Structure 1
């Protein structure tokens, strides 16, 4: 598990195709590697990867074909800057929100504009995950835990404060930049629990969460 609070940025130094999978090497810049062990998890742009080799200045991980298909790794190239976060410890402060490191879909930056000292980004989410995104809810963008300002259809916007912009890869986001999205875990599990016949075959389409369903489940109506 992770928190979405980026510890450092790194840079992709090697990408090698391996029978449909990929082998990625990342230089870690200021990430403290003193407590890292083989098999540990490090989130790279929000994707949980397992360390298979490491030094004080870099680490190597496998990227499966499944991860390539669901994330922006298939578009990455040597030299790209990436966000890094080591796995959450039981004693760690939870500054963001609980992040699994399992990307739900790829979003696209539609707009970027300055809002006072912050920057506002409008992101388009894939239709299949858009209904999980709620105003003032949490969203992870390339591993960064953010609060959703507002939602309009499949688009939502977030504000990035100067510190986050400077300490992550988000300063390189431009219109049409593709980003990894992970929705709030609670939204996914809540829908799973509420939906009837959630274990039935995919031929029976899943029923989406509605206000009436939440009220029936014991939640108070606004």
Structure 2
């Protein structure tokens, strides 16, 4: 489990394909503190550390992960948002994040707003995921608050600290990002959908 509060940026130094898998090597300030089998969120995707060496760690993304996230779009030199799993005695500063990306979205607008930044993202709403005004959304592993929620799009406002310390600084119109929708909202949506299709005489 994660919080969506990014610890540091890592730089992709090697990419190696093996059958349907992608082995990703990342250099970062936290590599020396990592352990084999540890879970680390990469752009919001929970991946397991499989190797460590020289200030770098390696993780493996399987085919399903590559299909549902932007991990397969990574290039050598790209920066990824990194977060280690939360400690049970720590404050939950963001929101409950599982590290399971639901789908991707495309940035359709980017604006500088007198010291802050506003991003608008469009996603495929037919899958059933929804956002709500002032609700939580996880973008590339970053816990953010939704503004201007619509059926298949939403916006977020970014403060300077978040802009400077995450890879949102590289996101522009046309960029693909990972989305993880709020887990509580997903359960509510599933229950509402189930109730709508369940005959009333069942209750």
Q: TM-score, normalised by structure 2?
A: 0.92
1:187 aligns with 2:202: no
Residue 103 of structure 2 corresponds to which residue in structure 1? Answer: 105
Distance 1:129 1:146 in 2: 21
Residue 74 of structure 2 corresponds to which residue in structure 1? Answer: 76
What secondary structure sits across from 2:89 in the alignment?
coil
Distance 2:14 2:174 in 1: 24
Runs of 4+ in 1 over 6 A off after TM superposition: none
Contact map agreement 1:109 1:174 (CA 8 A) in 2: yes
What secondary structure sits across from 2:51 in the alignment?
strand
Distance 1:146 1:130 in 2: 20
What secondary structure sits across from 1:11 in the alignment?
strand
Alignment equivalent of 2:85, drawn from 84, 87, 91: 87
In structure 2, runs of 5+ residues without a counterpart are 198-203
* CA offset digits 1:172-198 (Å, max 9, x no partner): 11110000000000011122334337x
Contact map agreement 1:129 1:183 (CA 8 A) in 2: no
Q: Structure 2 matches for 1:162-201, cutoff 5 A?
A: 162-196=160-194
Q: 1:53: Cα distance to partner?
A: 0.9
Q: 1:151: Cα distance to partner?
A: 1.1
Contact map agreement 1:33 1:57 (CA 8 A) in 2: yes
Q: Quickly say closer, same or farther: Cα 1:196–1:130, change in 2 above 3 A.
A: closer
Q: TM-score, normalised by structure 1?
A: 0.84
Residue 211 of structure 1 corresponds to which residue in structure 2? Answer: none
Q: Structure 2 matches for 1:7-46, cutoff 5 A?
A: 7-28=7-28, 30-31=29-30, 33-34=32-33, 36-46=34-44
Contact map agreement 1:146 1:158 (CA 8 A) in 2: yes
RMSD: 1.6
Greater RCO, 1 or 2 (C-alpha within 8 Å, sep 6+): 2
Contact map agreement 2:25 2:58 (CA 8 A) in 1: yes
Distance 1:72 1:106 in 2: 7
Q: Quickly say closer, same or farther: Cα 1:48–1:118, change in 2 above 3 A.
A: same
Q: Quickly say closer, same or farther: Cα 1:148–1:130, change in 2 above 3 A.
A: farther
